[in-house]
A and B are shown apart, each in its own frame.
Chain A
């Protein structure tokens, strides 16, 4: 059967036929999984940065590297078929990137204080 476009706007018909339909439960579940694992990744990478004694720019660079690692993990989990599970292609890198940054900084500062200062 023809592959339907996932970016059809409402009020238009695809040339293949009616508009695609999405399961809202599935969308919500998938975003919830991203959110959960983003928080875990931010916390764990913050702890690792504190343990390693990173300061300044190298700490933020480490966060970027961990975001890319997490994107790779998610792509693998989706079986390299991101569009089957998500509408937005950029979510694997960009989901909750600033929220994760705040969690990262929190754990980074806390662990750095615990390990290297006290």
Chain B
């Protein structure tokens, strides 16, 4: 899966879930005030608010787990077995760029140290 579009998808899913949950809170508050105005008892929320709450909760749980990033395998020794020496032994900060062209520099004679 391409990294960039997956992470934006998962972030927007989390955001949508959060907005949906807040919308449920607002709807539930409105429903309560309606019941208060018509002097009815509150037993339970209407089924659509219930369903929307549960669905947005599951959406948030799922997308928050994926927003946090990928799991990394913890076994360092078994991971290394499948890699070639070229991959593992590559250490860019130890690259050397030493060759004979430095003798063409006008300051080369000044750099020569006595043996």
Contacts and interface: CB of A to CB of B under 8 A. Distances in A.
A27 B62 CA distance: 21
Nearest to A87: B74
A96 to B, nearest CB: 13
Interface string B58-91: 1011101111110111111111010000000000
B11 interface: no
Interface residues of A, number: 42
B66 A77 contact: yes
Contacts of A37: 61, 64-65, 67-68
Given A33-B69, A47-B25, A20 B61 contact: no
Interface stretch (B49-57, B96-104, B107-115): B49-57
Contacts of B81: 1
Contacts of A69: 58, 61
A97 interface: no
Interface residues of B, number: 38
A115 B29 CA distance: 5
30 contacts: A1-B81, A6-B75, A22-B75, A23-B74, A25-B72, A26-B73, A30-B71, A30-B72, A32-B68, A36-B67, A40-B14, A40-B64, A41-B64, A44-B18, A45-B57, A48-B24, A48-B54, A48-B56, A51-B28, A52-B45, A53-B44, A53-B45, A74-B65, A85-B73, A85-B74, A86-B74, A115-B25, A115-B28, A115-B32, A118-B29
Cβ-closest 4 pairs across A and B: A40-B64, A26-B72, A37-B65, A44-B60
Interface of B: 14, 17-18, 21, 24-25, 28-29, 32, 42, 44-45, 49-50, 53-54, 56-58, 60-62, 64-69, 71-79, 81
